[in-house]
Every structure is written in C-alpha cells, then in structure tokens.
C-alpha cells in the first residue's frame, strides 16, 4: 500500500469480525479514507478468509496469535503506524462491529487535524430511542462516576471512535491497560495531564441489539468502574493510615514530653500535636505522590502545592464549621464531620488535577 504524506490512518481492532467489516471498509474507501490498519486480535483460523479479503482490499493486517484485548490491539496499531507512516496527520480508531458511520470517521479526521494537541471523542446521543438497555445503563453509570471523581462529565466514556494527532501517539502506547478498560485510562490520563478532550456528535448505531460486540456488560463495566475508582480507594486508604500515624504519634509524644514540659500542658499538647501532624503530612504527601497518583511528572513544586492545599483545608474547615454552628445552630462536632467529608472529596479532586497533575510531558512520540 502506498504511504502518502499527511495520511489519515484508520485503526480498527478486530476480534472475530463478521462480513460487515468488509462492507464497512468499502464505505470508508468511498469517503477517501484508504489508509486502514486492522489488528486481528487472535480471531483464529475460522476468520482468515475475512482478513484475507480485507488485505486484498488494501488494508494492512497486523496479527496477534492469541487474543490480547482491545487495549493491546490499539497499542500494536499505534507502534506500527508510528514506524510505517513517516508523516501522518492523525490516527482515527474505530470499532469493527458497525457502530461507527464512515461519514463520522471522516468528520473525526478533520477535527483531529484542526486540534493536533487534543483527543477527539465521537459522542453518541443516548437520548435517542432503540438503545440497548445494557449499553444505556453502562454508559450512564460510568459517565456519572467519572464526573464524580474527575470533575468532567463525558456523556459517552465508552466511545471507540476517537482521533488524535502524532503528538499524542507516544503517550497513548505508554498508558496502562490491555482490554476495554484501557480506553477509560486514556480519558483519566488526558484529564490529569490537561490534554484537551474535544467531543464531536456522531450517529448512534446499534445493529441487531449490538449482539456483535465483545463487550461484557457486567465484567467489563466492573473493570471500567474499578479503574475510575482505584485512585480514590487508595486515597482513602492512605488518608486512614496517615490519620492513624498522626493520632498514634501524638499519643506517644503526650507521654514522652511530660518530663520536659512539666506543668505546661498547653505547650506540651501543642508541641506533640504539631510534631505528629508534621510527620503525618510528610507521609501522606509521599504516599499520595508515589502510590495513589503514581506520577513522577508532577513538576518541582508539588510539595509546595500540597502544603498550600493543607493550609487552605484548615482555613475552609474552620470557617465552614463556624458558619454552620452560628448561622444554623448546628452542633460543632456534626458540622465538623460534614465539612471534612466535603473537603475530603474536594481534596481528592485538587490533588489529582493540581497538586499531582501530570506536567512537563513531551507530546512527541
């Protein structure tokens, strides 16, 4: 296949496709989209005829001998395109089960060229009739949970029609994930590294109740939700651990300092509290940076941002408790619990997207 400059490459991961894929490729050709890379993700001998026909039509066929998952199929395609096409304009990923209209693929290609630094998402309209219940419920649930934890509502978090320019290719193959959950990890990575997400409306197509899909509504939805919530669960765990460190160390120092601050209980308690808090803040910072958000690209000032956030939290907590107590006559202890729970969620968002945000990555493969 002739490699043209500024090619718009269509990448299709395919596992046990039917003959609709052949018709789909013809439709793509009809829109001038002729550079098509298809990854046979371990489909087996029974599907060789389909892939042979696609190869005769000019498609590049890459083969996994065993099924390795959609994420790995996409990464195989990204590596091949990076090496084989020296000057491509963009990569458009599409599914093999007929869900993405050829005209929408063409639309995505144009948007990717216009936004070389962003990830273009084909957004289906789930308000239309005829959507399979499992697809509607899965997308609604994951969109709501994604918005809760990452502060961005995406109506179609599971869309397989995506596009991006060569500046992002090298980042895409480094993101963890092998199967359907990989695409969710890509969204999280883009949010945390401030890569623009551009949503483009596309047609909503479900043929034969979407029975051709290999997406398992229970198992794969659970994996996706686990990916979305995994950092938050680790965040809760480290917070509990550091609270125990703070309290335990303070209790120990209360007794150790009695001989030093005899008759000065206030100074003894303040000294123990401050020392314990200093240690717990250091432990919490280290755990959140290396374990929770697992990011070595936080920039040089993440510690200062973390300390600033700690100070903001203390001020907001005190003011909020005071206002609830004085204006609403709420018990101080109850007000403290309510305020600190809200601030805890606020804290997670800011640590993910500001304190430990991904910074300084090169967008060239």
Angle in degrees, CA 104, 105, 109, rounded to 5: 115
Residue 364 included in any domain: no
pLDDT recorded at residue 3: 36
* Count of domains forming the chain: 2
Q: Are residues 96 and 33 in the same domain?
A: yes
| Whole-number percent of the chain with pLDDT over 70 | 87
> What pLDDT sits at residue 134?
61
Do residues 236 and 210 both lie within one domain? no
Give the pLDDT confidence score for residue 360 in this predicted structure: 61
Domain shared by 158 and 13, yes or no: yes
Q: What pLDDT sits at residue 365?
A: 44
Residues 193 and 61 in one domain: yes
The span from the CA of 13 to the CA of 265, in Å, is: 68
pLDDT value for 220:
64
Question: In the 8-state DSSP scheme, what is residue 98?
Answer: S
Same domain for 204 and 242: no
The answer to whether position 224 is within a domain reads: no
Same domain, 161 and 262: no
- pLDDT band of residue 295 (cuts 50, 70, 90) is low
Look at the block and give the residue holding tokens 């290999």.
Answer: 214
- Residue where a domain terminates, one of 188, 217, 246: 217
Is pLDDT above 70 for 124?
A: yes
In a domain, 263, yes or no: yes
- 33 and 148 belong to one structural domain: yes
Residues spanned by the domain of 201: 8-217
> Do 195 and 305 fall within a single domain?
no
- What pTM did the predictor assign? 0.76
Shared domain for 211 and 249, answered yes or no, is no
**Residue 3 placed within a domain:** no
Q: What's phi and psi for 38, nearest 5 deg? A: -120, 130
Among the three residues 174, 194, 217, which one is the final residue of a domain in this structure?
Answer: 217
Residues 113, 40 share a domain: yes
33: left (phi over 0), alpha (psi -120 to 50) or beta: beta
Stretch among 103-117, 205-219, 259-273, 275-289 having the lowest mean pLDDT: 205-219
SS3 annotation, 101-151:
CHHHHHHHHHHHHHCCCCEEEEECCCCCCCCCHHHHHHHHHHHHHHHHHHC
Let me know whether 96 and 209 are in one domain.
yes
Residue-level pLDDT at 268? 80
Q: For residue 129, what is the domain's CATH number?
A: 3.90.550.10
- Domain boundary, last residue among 184, 217, 250: 217
User: What is the structure's pLDDT at 288?
Assistant: 87
Tell me the C-alpha distance between 354 and 297, whole Å: 12
Q: Where are the alpha helices (DSSP H) in the chain?
A: 20-30, 48-56, 70-84, 102-114, 133-150, 169-172, 181-192, 219-256, 265-287, 302-327, 332-350
- 9 and 88 Cβ atoms separated by less than 8 Å: yes
Per mean pLDDT, which range of 6-15, 62-71, 145-154, 208-217 is the poorest?
Answer: 208-217
pLDDT surpasses 60 at 208: no
């Amino acid at each position: 296949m002739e490699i043209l400059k500024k090619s718009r490459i269509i990448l299709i991961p395919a596992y046990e496709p039917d003959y609709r894929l052949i018709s789909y490729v013809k439709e793509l050709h009809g829109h001038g989209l002729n550079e098509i890379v298809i990854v046979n993700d371990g489909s087996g001998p029974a599907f060789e005829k389909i892939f042979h026909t696609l190869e005769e039509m000019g498609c590049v066929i890459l083969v996994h001998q065993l099924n390795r998952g959609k994420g790995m199929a996409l990464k195989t395609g990204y590596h091949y395109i990076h090496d084989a096409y020296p000057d491509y304009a963009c990569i458009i990923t599409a599914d093999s089960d007929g869900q993405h209209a050829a005209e929408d693929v063409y639309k995505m290609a144009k948007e990717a060229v216009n936004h070389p630094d962003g990830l273009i998402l084909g957004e289906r309209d789930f308000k239309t009739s005829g959507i399979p219940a499992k697809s509607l419920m899965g997308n609604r649930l994951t969109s709501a949970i994604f918005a809760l934890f990452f502060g961005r509502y995406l109506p179609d978090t599971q869309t397989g029609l995506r596009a991006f320019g060569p500046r992002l290719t090298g980042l895409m193959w480094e993101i963890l994930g092998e199967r359907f959950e990989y695409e969710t990890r890509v969204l999280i990575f883009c949010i945390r590294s401030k890569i623009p997400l551009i949503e483009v409306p596309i047609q909503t197509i479900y043929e034969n109740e979407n029975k051709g899909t290999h997406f398992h509504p229970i198992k794969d939805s659970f994996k996706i939700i686990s990916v979305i919530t995994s950092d938050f669960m680790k965040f809760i765990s480290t917070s509990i651990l550091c609270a125990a460190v703070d309290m335990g160390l303070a209790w120990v120092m209360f007794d150790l300092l009695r001989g030093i601050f005899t008759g000065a209980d206030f100074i003894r308690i303040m000294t123990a509290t401050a020392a314990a808090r200093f240690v717990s803040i250091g432990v919490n910072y280290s755990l959140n940076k290396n374990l929770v958000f697992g990011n070595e690209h936080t920039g040089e000032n993440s510690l200062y941002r973390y300390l600033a956030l700690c100070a903001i939290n203390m001020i907001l907590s005190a003011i909020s408790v005071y206002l609830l107590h004085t204006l609403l006559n709420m018990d101080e202890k109850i007000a403290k619990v309510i305020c600190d729970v809200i601030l805890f969620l606020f804290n997670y968002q800011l640590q993910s997207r500001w304190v430990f945000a991904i910074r300084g990555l090169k967008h060239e493969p």
